[in-house]
């Protein structure tokens, strides 16, 4: 399974092109920009907005993957993106599809919000975070501009991956 996931995400990371000005955009724009990256790679996975509060906290969904995008209250922009999914016990096929969807959304987010990261490094980071989800349950990695944090709670089956600007801190 890890090899298949690794190959899929490596191809995904190499297939996508970077977009400009990512964290300066409001949380509301997340859907539009990430859906463009998802479409570019040829997946049928698409995000849809489920709620937005004062344009600083927006929620999106794609199948069983949830995304919360948070911006600062004192200026336009985005600071933190949290991609989450909850796995159900006993359905390995559904779990594989859910991890594929979660990491696909993360990969598209990386392409849009971390355009300075080389495609090869995106593929490596996706593999590292995927391995951490399956083995350690936690990981932290930084690119030049973005802090990535992964946590997986075995008891609840909840996986959360955060992408935050380095200026937003590691919270």
The tens digit of pLDDT for each residue in 124-136 reads 888 887 787 778 8
Residue 124 DSSP code = H
Task: Report the domain count for the chain.
Answer: 1
Q: What residues have CB less than 8 Å from 41, skipping those under 6 apart?
A: 12, 15, 16, 104, 107, 108
pTM, two decimals, is: 0.82
Work out whether strand 80-86 and strand 65-70 pair parallel, antiparallel, or are unpaired: antiparallel
The tens digit of pLDDT for each residue in 69-95 reads 999 888 888 999 999 999 887 778 888
CA gap 156, 152 in Å, rounded = 9
Tokens 């690119």 map to which residue?
A: 143
- What is the per-residue pLDDT for 170? 45
* Structural domain range at position 72: 2-168
Residue 123 has pLDDT above 60, yes or no: yes
Cβ neighbours of 107 (radius 10 Å)? 27
- What is the per-residue pLDDT for 161? 92
- Cβ atoms of 25 and 77 within 8 Å: the answer is yes
Q: Which band of pLDDT confidence, cut at 50, 70 and 90, is reported for residue 167?
A: low
**Closest by Cα among 18, 27, 32, 21 to 110:** 18
Mean of the pLDDT values across residues 59-64? 95
Which stretches does DSSP call E strand in the chain?
Answer: 48-53, 57-62, 65-70, 80-86, 138-142, 146-153, 158-165
């Amino acid at each position: 399974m890890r090899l298949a996931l690794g190959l899929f995400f490596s191809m995904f990371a190499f297939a996508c092109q970077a977009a400009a000005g990512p964290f300066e955009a409001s949380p509301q724009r997340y859907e539009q920009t990430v859906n463009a990256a998802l479409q570019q790679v040829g997946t049928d996975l698409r995000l849809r907005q489920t709620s937005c509060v004062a344009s600083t906290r927006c929620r999106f969904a794609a199948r069983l993957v949830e995304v919360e995008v948070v911006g600062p209250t004192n200026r336009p922009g985005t600071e933190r993106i949290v991609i989450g999914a909850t796995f159900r016990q006993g359905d390995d096929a559904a779990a594989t599809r859910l991890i594929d969807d979660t990491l696909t959304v993360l990969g598209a987010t990386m392409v849009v919000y971390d355009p300075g990261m080389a495609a090869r490094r995106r593929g490596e980071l996706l593999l590292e975070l995927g391995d951490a989800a399956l083995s350690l349950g936690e990981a932290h990695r930084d690119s030049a501009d973005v802090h990535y944090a992964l946590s997986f709670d075995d008891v609840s089956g909840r996986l959360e991956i955060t992408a935050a600007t380095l200026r937003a801190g590691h919270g």
